Amino acid sequence: MYFNVFGEKVSRRRFKEMCDAAKNRRELIAAGLTSRRDLMRMGLLTAGGMLVAKSGLSARAQTLTPNPNPTGPSVKTNQPPSSGSNTSLGTNQNCVPGNQLASPKTRAFIQPLPIMPIARTVPSLTPAPTENPNLSAGEVRAAPFQAPQIDATRFPVVPGILYQFNQRQFTTSFSPDLPNQTIWGFDDGTGTRSPGPTYQAFYGKPQLTRNINSLPSITQSNNTGFGMASVSTHLHNGHTPSESDGNPCDFYTNGHFCDQYYPNVLAGFNSTNPPNGDINESLATLWYHDHRVDFTSQNTYKGLAGFYCLFNQLDTGDETTGFHLPSFPQFDIPLLFNDKVFDPNNGELVFDLFNLDGILGDKFLVNGVIQPFLQVSPRRYRFRLLDTGPSRFYEFFLTGNIGGTSSPTTNPFFLIGTDGNLIPVPIQINSVRIGPAERVDVVIDFTNFAGQTLYLENRLNQINGQGPVAQDSQIPAPIDNNNTECTLVLASNTPAIKPAGAGDLILQFQVTGPKVADHSLPPSQQKFYSLPSTTASPRVVRTFKFDRLNGQWSINGQFMDCNTFRFTVQQNSVEHWLLTNLTGDWTHPVHIHLEEHQILNRNRLAPTLPADRGRKDVTQLHPNERVELFFRFRDWLGKYPIHCHNVVHEDHAMMALWHVEPTGDTVKVP
């Protein structure tokens, strides 16, 4: 029996290839292309004798040994020679794609889940916000506020709710087993943190945020190795006027700011459903993140992201009113997921700057710490799950009985929202898949788990930036004697979904304490919004082909250009957008600003997955797919982007800008 670095069975032929590759590498060092001294001189070998994992020279092949227990949850393989044992409970993802070395060992479930505080308002801003950009004060904004021009009484230039967010560099800890990390975060006046403070916003109450760039000057040469201290903060899924949207092409450096006006108004308020819009189009779980063109992946990885929860008279945040959803923030908890890599030698956060495909980490963070635990009472909770990428997709299961005498269990829970939009009725599910920038809202009932420990487990198999492993695919193990990186040793018959307990245990729920009051309704008795009709005829059907041309990420054969607007949507019109992906092996999470959409069909068939049937702002475009979306572009004018939200693809030009104007065009393939 032969095994690869995943502990999976491989053929004898494949194993021989892997061993040959390791031998080649040793020969290379001993006598081949370059001497050991040459490798050192070229910076490919560190003083400690470890080969820098680049250039197709793998440090992994040496440690391959047949694994006596390939299916157990505690199996650890693929240890780089000098990084020590990576025995973090529940993280089997020790193989870091992109030819990077695995992170140092960290312990799991020893830190409580941080819960981001609710953002603090300020009584006033100095100088006061102005309708036109206040250039002399250092403001960088593309245009005057649109909302006060529509109704200055309803949307005053200085609304009643004001925030001042300074983006700053600060030091924090992701794990007691790693050194403190210098990253970037948001300071609402109570201290800098990442993820940033959570906005608690309400429909009908417009608000304004002064986003100040107080990051270190770029030219001070105090960079920690990645990140561009030049920012543009986007409110993801906001029905936001373009000047306040956080466009990737409007960015500003240290000492400048942008006042961003968030009207907190339903789409259609000034068009299809005046004066207040249709309650069925309410948004709930939004997020904010940096969107600087070409540097979004680095800047969000470095910490510039946070939640924006939007409430209304039904989704109140109070379980005794409205929909009776668990109360915010005590029982309604935002969870921000990301995966990161740390230097195996000194434990510092690293980012693969030279990657074009997508970046995966081997450490899983929730709300800014690695594998935390959360103590919950035996009652219902609402969780708002957000995948901030850069490039990883997750399929979350609620797993129990880890480490027990019998097999791990899979426990159902309820899906209540897709991309922050409550679906018509909760759907009981065993798992839910989300990709970069997507959100799902779920309700988990811990009532019957008192005294037990459960886990949010990612069982999705993903080995590189291409996206999840295709459903039970037969991926041939490629032949490359000089390269045994983990991206290339996928055996055939790799399952899309790992067995229970064999995935990544990311968040631990400790169900403790006595039964407490729960005024929330059981999801099975709940009913939320109706889906808006999608029967209106489109003014135009536009096609967007997502492709890779000689390694260049493209939309309709063209590339991101801040000076080029590809097409013009007519304000308040209906359009269908066809997203196509004929590449065969890449999944693109496609995000469109300004308006949410509904998926009409995938490859001409009605969507079947529960998470596909709600209102969305990111749609996963799978290999060989053609997805048709329904849009109404309402109320606001100006510039917006469409882009892939695998932020590495986005930063390498898989984005296009377009306009909304009173008169639109009918360009079908922009």
Partner 1 sequence: MHDISRRKFLSLSAAAPLAPLVAGPLAAGVLGSTAFGTTSTSPAAALTMSEKARRRIQQQHLPNIPLINHEGKRVLFYDDLIKDKAVALNFFFANCDEICPLVTANLARVQKLLGNQVGRDIHMYSFTLKPEEDTVSAIRQYREKHGAGPGWTFFTAKPGDMEMIRKAIGFSYPDPAIDGDKTQHIGNIRYGNEPLMLWSACPGMAHAQWIAETLEWMVHPEQNRVQAP
Q: Which of residues 98-157 bind partner 1 (CB under 8 A)?
A: 99, 133, 135-143
**Nearest distance from residue 337's CB to partner 1, in Å?**
23
Give the separation between CA 545 and CA 578, rounded to whole angstroms.
8
The CA-atom distances, in angstroms, between 647 and each of 182, 292, 359, 426, 654 are: 21, 11, 9, 30, 9
Dig out the tokens for 28 from the structure: 């290379």
Nearest C-alpha neighbor of 508 from the set 104, 195, 108, 114: 108
> By C-beta, is 249 or 521 nearer to partner 1?
249
Among 151, 278, 318, 348, binds partner 1 (CB under 8 A): 348
Inter-residue contact 291 to 658 (CB < 8 Å): no
Which part of the chain contacts partner 1 (CB under 8 A), choosing from 111-119, 163-171, 311-319, 610-618?
Answer: 163-171
Give the separation between CA 641 and CA 437, rounded to whole angstroms.
15
Q: Which residue has the tokens 């070229």?
A: 42
Q: Does 186 bind partner 1 (CB under 8 A)?
A: no
> By C-beta, is 132 or 428 nearer to partner 1?
132
Q: Does 294 bind partner 1 (CB under 8 A)?
A: yes
Q: What residues contact 191, with CB distance under 8 A and at least 6 apart?
A: none
One character per residue 10-39, x = contact with partner 1 (rule: CB under 8 A): -----------------------x------
Q: Does 42 bind partner 1 (CB under 8 A)?
A: yes
DSSP state of 414: E
648: enclosing H helix or E strand: helix 647-651
Instruction: Count Cβ atoms within 10 A of the Cβ of residue 75 and give its class: 0-12 exposed, 13-18 middle, 19 or more buried.
Output: middle
Q: Does 667 bind partner 1 (CB under 8 A)?
A: no
Among 333, 350, 416, 454, binds partner 1 (CB under 8 A): 350
**Nearest distance from residue 243's CB to partner 1, in Å?**
6
Among 75, 115, 150, 218, binds partner 1 (CB under 8 A): 218
Helix (H, G, I), strand (E, B) or coil at 573: strand
Among 198, 483, 494, 508, binds partner 1 (CB under 8 A): 483
**Nearest distance from residue 45's CB to partner 1, in Å?**
9
Dig out the tokens for 30 from the structure: 């001993």
Among 16, 23, 36, 46, binds partner 1 (CB under 8 A): 46
**Nearest distance from residue 443's CB to partner 1, in Å?**
38
> By C-beta, is 170 or 202 nearer to partner 1?
170
Q: Does 214 bind partner 1 (CB under 8 A)?
A: yes
Give the separation between CA 424 and CA 420, rounded to whole angstroms.
13
DSSP state of 471: T
Which part of the chain contacts partner 1 (CB under 8 A), choosing from 277-285, 302-310, 317-325, 472-480?
Answer: 472-480
Q: What residues contact 83, with CB distance under 8 A and at least 6 apart?
A: 101, 102, 103, 104, 344, 345
Q: Which residue has the tokens 């997020």?
A: 287
Q: What residues contact 135, with CB distance under 8 A and at least 6 apart?
A: none
Inter-residue contact 275 to 229 (CB < 8 Å): no
Q: What residues contact 598, with CB distance under 8 A and at least 6 apart?
A: 531, 532, 534, 614, 615, 616, 629, 630
Among 75, 110, 356, 450, binds partner 1 (CB under 8 A): 356
One character per residue 575-604, x = contact with partner 1 (rule: CB under 8 A): ----------x-------------------
> By C-beta, is 576 or 593 nearer to partner 1?
593
**Nearest distance from residue 331's CB to partner 1, in Å?**
36
Give the separation between CA 93 and CA 196, rounded to whole angstroms.
27
**Interaction residues for partner 1, span 229-268 (CB under 8 A):** 229-230, 242-243, 247, 249-257
Instruction: Count Cβ atoms within 10 A of the Cβ of residue 573 and give its class: 0-12 exposed, 13-18 middle, 19 or more buried.
Output: middle
**Nearest distance from residue 561's CB to partner 1, in Å?**
4
**Interaction residues for partner 1, span 544-573 (CB under 8 A):** 549-554, 559-564
**Interaction residues for partner 1, span 402-441 (CB under 8 A):** none
The CA-atom distances, in angstroms, between 128 and each of 131, 134, 157, 166, 224 are: 10, 9, 9, 16, 35
Dig out the tokens for 268 from the structure: 């259609």
Give the separation between CA 501 and CA 89, rounded to whole angstroms.
11
Q: Does 307 bind partner 1 (CB under 8 A)?
A: no
Which part of the chain contacts partner 1 (CB under 8 A), choosing from 200-208, 340-348, 427-435, 494-502?
Answer: 340-348
Which part of the chain contacts partner 1 (CB under 8 A), choosing from 211-219, 274-282, 316-324, 605-613?
Answer: 211-219
Return the bridge partners of 431, or none. 397
**Interaction residues for partner 1, span 59-88 (CB under 8 A):** none
Which part of the chain contacts partner 1 (CB under 8 A), choosing from 14-22, 59-67, 210-218, 535-543?
Answer: 210-218
> By C-beta, is 377 or 464 nearer to partner 1?
464
Q: Does 488 bind partner 1 (CB under 8 A)?
A: yes
**Interaction residues for partner 1, span 598-637 (CB under 8 A):** 637
Give the separation between CA 388 and CA 394, rounded to whole angstroms.
11
Dig out the tokens for 433 from the structure: 């898949």
Inter-residue contact 400 to 411 (CB < 8 Å): yes
Q: Does 190 bind partner 1 (CB under 8 A)?
A: no
Among 221, 405, 537, 663, binds partner 1 (CB under 8 A): 221
> By C-beta, is 389 or 638 nearer to partner 1?
638
Among 11, 13, 36, 55, binds partner 1 (CB under 8 A): 55
Which part of the chain contacts partner 1 (CB under 8 A), choosing from 48-56, 108-116, 512-520, 521-529?
Answer: 48-56
